[in-house]
Structure 1
Amino acid sequence: MGSHKIFAVNPGSTSTKIALFQDDTCLYSKNVSHDAEELAKYESLSQQLPYRRDTILDLLDKAGVSLEDVEVFVGRGGGLLAMEGGTYGVTDLLLDHAKNCANGVIHPACLGPQLANEFAEKYGAQAMVVNPPDVDEMQELARITGIKGVNRMIHLHALNLKETAIRHSKNVMNKKYEECNYVVCHIGGGISISAHKRGRMVDGYDIVGGEGPMTPTRCGSISAADLLDYMDKNHLESADVKKLCTRTGGFVSHLGTSDAIELTERAKAGDKYAEMLWNAMIYQIEKCIGSMAAVLRGQVDGILLGGGMVYNEDLVKQITDACSFIAPVTPYPGEFEMEAMASGAIRVLDGEEEMKVYSGRLVWNGFPWDKAEA
């Protein structure tokens, strides 16, 4: 195993996280801010590419950080069609799908592969993506619903979920990820809860589509009949409902805030509404953990909690009290996203994993009976 320099790029709505690694050691990291007025000038996310690239390069130059000996540039995957987990080389097809948001999800992560490719071409290196948000390894039983022709797909924080499981397997279980079963949660502004069986994420909740627990900005699972009544009473269109699934639901819908810290402070000060919301969110998380444990037939080696809200001791205690009968609960506050991107590239460079090729085709495209009637 050699020594490798990796540069990771993770674009957000008004900033881009960057980090330079020498193997597992982070040499430099920064959250590069982008001027909101400047970003607003561009009609599409992909048009922001030159501006974001040059802003990052200018900052690195001023900081005296050189990228000349970087071996791999890794970008947060976005805009891609559902695929198996792993590390993928950036190809023309992958770039085209990222640029055009082939999966229909308009998110800054689509700039990740494009930025990685820009830097790789400039410095004569490789470009990769690791466990993009559209990783789909669901078992077939998890796909079918009670409406013919409507099959489940999932969108989760795959990068952090898988990295948390990989690290726990190595550092705590002294095993490979492929030898363990976990319920893994990412609990932040969005909440992902997933079942991992022998290295594959076999089930989870579609957090873009409105499944799972409520979150600070997302409504979570709701009765379809109740939602239709709500739409009728408030004269809402489908676009309004989709916003409830990702931006205007949860704490925002109830109290007009997406700040979990503000909510818990209000609860401590005696606000019963805020207290009920906080406890209800945790209660729903616990229910979802239980369902994923059932997916694994109770054969669970650990319940792993990642994400920013895991810094809250009350949240961890409530989940531990409710779910530790299933398996040990281990908190990993924050996230491993930048480390995960670097680690994925290093595993490929060291021969521990094979680099995958993005096919540009859905990893699963319906049941045979769906195709027969198409």
Structure 2
Amino acid sequence: MQRYQILVINPGSTSTKIAVFENGTRLCYQNIQHEAAELEQYPTLADQLPYRRDMIMSFLKENGIALADIDVFVGRGGGLIAMTGGTYEVTDLVLEHARTCANGVIHPATLGSQLAAELAKAGGHGAKALVVNPPDVDELQDVARMTGLKHVYRTVHLHALNLKEMAIRHSKSVLHQPYEQTNLIVCHIGGGISVSAHHHGRMIDGFDIVGGEGPMAPTRTGSLSLANILDYMDQTHATTQEMRQLLTRRGGLVSHLGISDTKELVRRKDTGDQYAQMLWDAMLYQIEKCIGAMATVLKGQVDGILLGGGMAYNPELIARISEACSFIAPVSAYPGEFEMEALAAGALRVLTGEEPLKQYTGVPVWQGFPWDQVVIKDGKVQN
């Protein structure tokens, strides 16, 4: 097989992760941490671009790698309109939507495509810039979109990149089948918790963890009764914006104990803290229930249940979920996250012809049902 060098760029809220791969082998890697005070001097995300670019250039210089040595530049996607999974070329439209956060989500991941494109252009040898399975992947089956409220439809926001990488790896190395021929329940269990159903290469259902669905997580409430939410707002006079913060950033363990570190939760419950023990039990119980729900989505035809994310390093978590769910399918652990490897692997599949390179259209993958006479975006009616 031809040898390809792949530069991977993954900007986060407080870090920029950089790696160079030769095919599937990582040659060098750095996780650059950014102090909050350092980033605060940049009024907008766009203003951070030169700062992060210069750090990437310093990394390459330190490792003796020239831009001309790189065959393809891959950035974490973000800010894009909902699309099917896959590897996409960074075009002018991708860059425009990333810069303007076209999907309404302002996150440093939007810098990934921009940095990849800028460095590819600076290389001067025609190398492409790509994004792989951006956070905006939407492959829901139609029936999963319906709700009991007219003109309100479900969308999902999940750890798409890591979920799909686990599914692809497991299908190939354990099941010895293409991802497109397997049925899997795939979970990312970390600071956020995603549970998803994968049917023949498509992520056909899951929980909208940004919207408040799914299990309780370190910083998220998970699913709540609407009556509970309305009662809480009446009692506390919380605004809509305050509720959004509570549901996605100040819920879960933060709401109960003021912590977001699950290692601290485990330490407390292991020393006899009954409150911490109940929270731990409840979080695992809710994950197990969600896995059960996804099993019904796949009609019980499940080839495997995959557990990834930082919390998957905990042996008790793996044992507990296995005990509850192994009657559905074998449970396998993939601790940590494979975002950098996933970005490189997506690019490599395109370079070797295993997977087609997709073109981003900017048109939502789903725009409502035939009977809808309104424009639907992110599951909401647009005026």
The TM-score, its normalising length taken from structure 2, stands at 0.96
The answer for the alignment partner of 2:155 in structure 1 is 153
SS across alignment from 2:293: helix
Q: Residue 80 of structure 1 corresponds to which residue in structure 2?
A: 80
Q: Give the 5 Å matches for 1:138-149.
A: 138-149=140-151
Residues of 2 paired with 1:93 and 1:256: CA distance? Answer: 42
Where do 1:329-348 residues align within 5 Å? 329-348=331-350
* CA distance, structure 1, for counterparts of residue 64 and residue 323 of structure 2: 49
Deviations 1:153-188 (A, max 9, x none): 111100010010000011001110001000000000
Distance 1:66 1:245 in 2: 45
Q: How does 1:218-257 map to 2 (within 5 A)?
A: 218-257=220-259
Report the equivalent of 1:117: 117
**Runs of 4+ with >4 A deviation:** none
Which of 121, 134, 137 is matched with 2:136 structurally?
134
**Residue identity opposite 2:157 in structure 1:** H
Partner of 2:275: 273
Deviation at 1:59, TM superposition (A): 3.3
Shift of 1:35: 3.8
Amino acid at match of 2:97: H
Shift of 1:63: 4.1
1:226 & 1:33 partners in 2: Cα distance? 39
1:204-219 counterparts in 2 under 5 A? 204-219=206-221
Q: Where does residue 379 of structure 2 map in the other structure?
A: none
The secondary structure found in structure 2 opposite 1:370 is coil
Q: Please tell me the residue identity of whatever aligns with 1:251.
A: L
Q: What letter corresponds to residue 180 of structure 1 in structure 2?
A: T
Aligned partners of 2:67 and 2:122 also within 8 Å: no
Contact 1:32–1:56 (8 Å) recurs in 2: no
The 2-side partners of 1:365 and 1:241 are apart by 28
Instruction: State the distance in 1 between where 2:200 and 2:62 align.
Output: 45
Structure 2 unpaired stretches of 5+: 376-382
- Cα separation, 1, equivalents of 2:46 and 2:266: 38
Q: Which string of whole-angstrom CA distances, capped at 9 and with x for unpartnered residues, describes residues 18-75 of structure 1?
A: 1100001000011012242231122221221111111221233234343331111111
Determine the structure 2 residue equivalent to 1:13: 13
CA contact (8 A) 2:185 2:195 kept: yes
Separation of aligned partners in 1, 2:71 and 2:146: 43
Kindly tell me the number of residue pairs found equivalent between the two proteins. Answer: 374
Q: Secondary structure at the match of 2:156?
A: coil
| Counterpart residue type for residue 270 of structure 1 | G
What is the CA deviation profile of residues 79-137 of structure 1, one whole-angstrom value per residue up to 9, with x for unaligned ones? 11110000000000001111111111111111111111111111132100000011000
Question: Aligned partner of 2:287: which letter?
Answer: I
C-alpha separation in 2, matches of 1:291 and 1:121: 46
Per the alignment, residue 320 of structure 1 pairs with 322
Are the equivalent residues in 1 in contact too, given 2:79–2:98 (CA < 8 A)? Answer: yes
Residue 142 of structure 1: how far off its partner (Å): 0.0
Give the structure 1 partner of residue 305 of structure 2: 303
> What is the SS of the residue equivalent to 1:216?
coil
Match of 1:91 in 2: 91
Opposite residue 359 of structure 1, the aligned amino acid is T
Identify which range, 184-193 or 60-69, moves more after superposition. Answer: 60-69
Post-superposition CA distance 1:229-281 (Å, at most 9, x none): 11111111111111122211100000000000001000001111111111101
C-alpha distance in 2, partners of 1:66/1:234?
57
Residue 47 (structure 2) pairs with residue 24 (structure 1)? no
Aligned mates of 1:45, 1:21 — CA distance in 2 = 27
State the shift of 1:298 in Å.
0.1
What is the distance in 2 between the residues matched to 1:192 and 1:141? 20
Q: Select the residue among 190, 193, 196 that pairs with 1:191.
A: 193
% of aligned pairs identical? 63
CA drift at 1:297:
0.1
Q: Give SS of 1:371's match.
A: coil
Paired residue secondary structure (1:173): coil
TM-score, normalisation: structure 1 = 0.98
Match of 1:59 in 2: 59
* Inter-partner Cα distance in structure 2 for 1:31 and 1:68: 23
Write out per-residue CA displacement over residues 208-247 of structure 1, whole angstroms, 9 at most, x where no aligned residue: 1000001000110000111011111111111111112221
Q: CA separation in 1, counterparts of 2:60 and 2:20?
A: 10
The DSSP-based 3-state class of the residue aligned with 2:10 is strand
Q: State the alpha-carbon separation in 1 of the partners of residues 64 and 100 from structure 2.
A: 34
Q: What is the distance in 2 between the residues matched to 1:33 and 1:189? A: 18
* Root mean square deviation, CA, Å: 1.2
Q: Aligned letter for 1:253?
A: S
Q: Aligned letter for 1:86?
A: G
1:100 alignment partner in structure 2: 100
Alpha-carbon separation, structure 2, partners of 1:151 and 1:108: 27
SS of residue in 2 equivalent to 1:116: helix
Amino acid at match of 2:245: K
In structure 1, what is the Cα distance between the partners aligned to 2:57 and 2:97? 25
